[in-house]
Amino acid sequence: MDYKKIIRNQEVRFRILNLLRFVPDKTMIKLQYRIKTGRKLNLKNPKRYTEKLQWYKLFYRDPLMTRCSDKYEVRSYVEEKGLEKYLTKLYGVYEDLKEINFSTLPNSFAIKHTNGSGANYFVKDKRSENIDDIKAIIEGWMTARKADYGREWCYYDVKPRIIVEELIERDENNDIPDYKFFCFNGKVKYLYTMVDYVDNHKNGRCSFFTPEFQQLPYRRSEYKEINRPIPKPEKFDEMLKIAEILSKDFPHVRVDLYNIKGRIIFGELTFYNASGYTVFTPDEFDSVLGDKFLLPMKKSWKGV
């Protein structure tokens, strides 16, 4: 079922989710999984990657995950791992929109919400921007999406703030090469990247790769397969090491890294890839990934 075609307006979808906030997490996750994947969720004996991510949401509660889900606080985690040179330049962090002095910011910068998926705004030339329009966008971030809409536990206690940081430049293909490493117990097993994605997500192409950067016949179903040769990024082995250092504290995390002509830049840590509702093409990759995800034994397992 493509629920986005049935309810096209995102704001309306958020309003519906807000009305359903009283529904317990486990019940809501089972309902969302059925709607978004078309399958019944198996929590007692999860096999698929997407099923294990739902279990991960419900039963694995490491406070470090909350810290690392915060787009500001994660910076200190990266620094503690000795990887501060891979962070973007930070211009400021703000709890209130009124604190931001746009006149002192550089001509180009990126604005992000510390607890919001897709809540980013990129300013290429401040002189051509309407600052009031930017403020309205930020205000919408601070009041619209609630952290529990996806029932993703680690975001519940992330403090809503605004960070302003360096704007990453695009490459010669007008892309921002972004590599998403799927790590399990500190080891990279797979990664994916996308092309033709930055300006129009609908035109994006996606393919998964091995840690040796061999392209696989797997993709996210909402995107077409990459249909042209993708060269291995410069310093790719260094990227693998960074991903494994940042992931070793967790049973599973996706480590996102940019690579602009050999300059490696930390993106973010994501614990619930696409909230655990990705439909893969072909479908078998859901089980292939699931085989790599070894769930920790928790007492709460008995309560499923």
Average pLDDT over residues 1-30: 64
- pLDDT at residue 6 greater than cutoff 60: no
E strands in the chain? 90-94, 109-113, 120-123, 162-165, 178-184, 187-195, 205-209, 219-220, 252-260, 263-270, 280-281
11 domain-assigned: no
- pLDDT at residue 300 greater than cutoff 50: no
pLDDT at 108: 96
Q: List residues bridging with 263 in a β-sheet.
A: 260
218 domain-assigned: yes
* Count: domains in the chain: 1
Q: Measure CA of the first residue to CA of the last residue in the chain; give whole Å.
A: 26
- pLDDT at residue 154 greater than cutoff 70: yes
pLDDT at 198: 72
Which helix (H) or strand (E) segment holds residue 225: the answer is none
Which of 192 and 204 is assigned the larger pLDDT?
A: 192
Which residue, chain included where needed, has tokens 């979808």?
13
277 domain-assigned: yes
196 domain-assigned: yes
Note down the domain range covering 247.
169-294
Token pair of 281 as six digits: 């093409």
Tell me which residue of 149, 151, 138, 142 sits closest to 110, measured CA to CA: 138
16 domain-assigned: no
301 domain-assigned: no
pLDDT at 303: 44
Which of 176 and 243 is assigned the larger pLDDT?
A: 243
Mean of all residue pLDDT scores within the chain: 89
Dump pLDDT digits (tens) for 66-82: 999 999 999 999 999 99
This prediction has a pTM of 0.90
- pLDDT at residue 301 greater than cutoff 50: no
Average pLDDT over residues 267-288: 96
Average pLDDT over residues 33-41: 94
- pLDDT at residue 298 greater than cutoff 70: no
Using 50, 70 and 90 to split pLDDT, how confident is the model at 203? confident
Which of 171 and 181 is assigned the larger pLDDT?
A: 181
Dump pLDDT digits (tens) for 213-251: 999 999 999 999 999 999 999 999 999 999 999 999 999
Which residues, at least 6 apart from 14, have a Cβ–Cβ distance to it below 8 Å?
Answer: 144, 145, 146, 149
- pLDDT at residue 64 greater than cutoff 60: yes
122 domain-assigned: no
- CATH number for the domain including 221? 3.30.470
Contact 298, 59 (CB under 8 A): yes
CA angle, 140 then 135 then 13, to 5°: 15
198 domain-assigned: yes
